[in-house]
Amino acid sequence: MKRSLLIFFLALSPFFIHAQTTQLPQLERVEPMFWFTGMHNPKLQLLVHGNQIAKNEVQLSYPGVNLLKVNKVENPNYLFIDLEVAADAKPGSFQIAFSQKGKKTFSYTYELKARNQSAGRIQGVTSKDFIYLLMPDRFSNGDPKNDVVKGLQETTLNRDSMYYRHGGDIQGVMNHLDYFKDLGVTTLWMTPEIENDMKNASYHGYAATDNYKIDPRYGTNALYKTYVEQAHAKGLKIIKDIVHNHIGTGHYLYKDLPMKDFLNQWPTYTQTSYRDQPVMDIHASEADKKQMLDGWFVPSMPDLNQRNPYVQNYLTQNHIWWIEYAGIDGLRLDTYPYNDGPYMADWAQKLKAEFPNLSIFGETLVSAVASQAYFTGGNTVNRGFDTHLPGITDAVIKDAIFEALNGKPGWTDGIFRLYAILAQDFLYKDATNNVVFMDNHDMSRFYSVVNEDFNKYKAGMAMLLTMRGIPQLYYGTEILMKNFSNPDGLVRSDFPGGWPADKTSKFTAAGRTEKENEAFNYISKLANYRKTSLALQTGKLMQYVPQDGLYVYFRYTPDNKKTVMLIFNSEDKEKTLSTTRFAERVGQATSATDIITGAKLNSLQSISIPARATLVLELN
């Protein structure tokens, strides 16, 4: 999520605890509402919220569950109960009794569920995968009955406005799982699905008001779990988008703060600088670091104080809960540079301890390779600790590809920019964990950035699907959806055919234009080929310094048995490429197959490349 995210700013409440003693029931909630046996970490901290709940004493009795401590904090409407769940504790239910002056006032039935030990349930997302990013509100409306939910702050449904909700939901995504399979996608990533009960423009999902609840306009927790299960049954993996940095002003934790330092508080409202440099700058002032990390993203998104141990426990347990409950394969971490570094490192270790196959990658919309690499795991010399973050969203590669497609040749411009950026992969522990993308919900759509030039579009898609790393496609790119990000809502248009009233459906070949089908088929051909290509999935990359307007790189297996060659002609005239220079990689190959057309090249001595064309060849 970027700083220009368009939302209607909500009025800020004063910076002090404002307990809602007259509005809360005796017991408003317990989170996590249930837990699991057999977890790696035996410690569990329950957040209990209710009217003057701190006046109560707490008791419980269950074999294998030990009550360690009851923490009373500044706000008497909260208790934080520390439990220890032994390794031999059995699934079952028990009563948590609340009493005052020795008299029981009420109880809560807490359940320990059996941990799901199914082999391969949480698969992880790797460079073998192809991610499809979508916004559930804008993709498909599978259940019109949940379009407007009584009791929520926003009850307007208006598809003619870029700011209001449009009615898309989880069922709509489930209805099109076969579409993703046909396209060649292996992994689905939705922008956050959890409740965003805000007054306006919260369809994006990044202003949570309940971390344990799917937004009822999208469905239910049970439906989300079914979505994951059905996707897995189709051979599709699931990424969940999570936010550590902030919540929404509609969240109960903001409306009734547990303690003053649950949030990053300022004497007056202070916004983040949005500049990542002070986090890594050895010359930076502490004031600049503090504003970057502790400043609020926007007024409607209160900034969580991740140095607070209660905040840490709340976030970490919530993410573990969702993974275990639903069987999620990977996590995308929103606004990663804005988070507290030591906490995020601890968080990553705790999640990997519970789910060794889980994949995580962080959003780092920064401007340099070194800046991206700074946040990834293995850079202990620079940070003093290991972030344990395997990969990031590779915005620098994205910008370099745009420069290769749109820029004019120069020593560091045009195709030379892309070459130079890839040459800096030595800064990463493993660049193949980075997510490569052309656009997303916060930026101008790829087809518009390349000025709707179809040759450039195909070149970008070819690079996306043959580049090192994990490719990610933004919904609608495959049907040439377009627009610019000023304002952002324009790049979040509905997928045509996702609503019953839509005149045409782009989910079918019959509903797409000839050019749209050509785009869809181009991506599908490459993506489905990639599913069986070890060279593209896990192979090494070798690139050559661009010459005569041509940029060439190879993906190849360590045993050299499988090799894919990409040739990009950046100029407006046909070129002939002599392959003598590439003998190191061409090796004994004497012919090649064009992956897109299936045409055979019976000789590799020289290859003709039309103006502005891109060839993806499998060497034989």
Catalytic (active site) residue 363: yes
Query: Is 491 buried (19+), middle (13-18) or exposed (0-12) by CB count in 10 A?
Result: buried
Selecting among 143, 363, 478, 488, the annotated active-site residue is 363
Pairwise CA distance, residues 148 & 156, whole Å: 7
Please choose, from the candidates 393, 376, 402, the residue with its C-alpha nearest in 3D space to the C-alpha of residue 435.
Answer: 393
Q: Which residues of 356-370 are buried (b: 16+ CB within 10 A; e: fewer)?
A: eebbbbbbbbbebbe
- Of the CA atoms within 13 Å of residue 555, those in its CB half-sphere come to 23
Residues 6+ apart with CB under 8 A from 300: 7, 8, 9, 10, 198, 207, 248, 249
Query: Is 470 buried (19+), middle (13-18) or exposed (0-12) by CB count in 10 A?
Result: buried
DSSP state of 495: P
Pairwise CA distance, residues 566 & 466, whole Å: 8
Pairwise CA distance, residues 333 & 331, whole Å: 6
How far is CA 229 from each of CA 33, 168, 431, 437, rounded to the nearest angstrom?
Answer: 22, 20, 30, 26
Pairwise CA distance, residues 382 & 375, whole Å: 10
Structure tokens at 270: 């202070």
Catalytic (active site) residue 334: yes
DSSP reduced 3-state for 615: strand
Structure tokens at 595: 């992956």
Selecting among 334, 425, 442, 618, the annotated active-site residue is 334
224, 188 contact by CB (below 8 A):
no
How are beta strands 57-60 and 43-49 bridged, if at all?
A: unpaired
Pairwise CA distance, residues 121 & 28, whole Å: 33
178, 234 contact by CB (below 8 A):
yes
Pairwise CA distance, residues 341 & 343, whole Å: 5
Pairwise CA distance, residues 331 & 323, whole Å: 9
Query: Is 142 buried (19+), middle (13-18) or exposed (0-12) by CB count in 10 A?
Result: buried
Pairwise CA distance, residues 158 & 187, whole Å: 30
**Which residues are catalytically annotated?**
334, 363
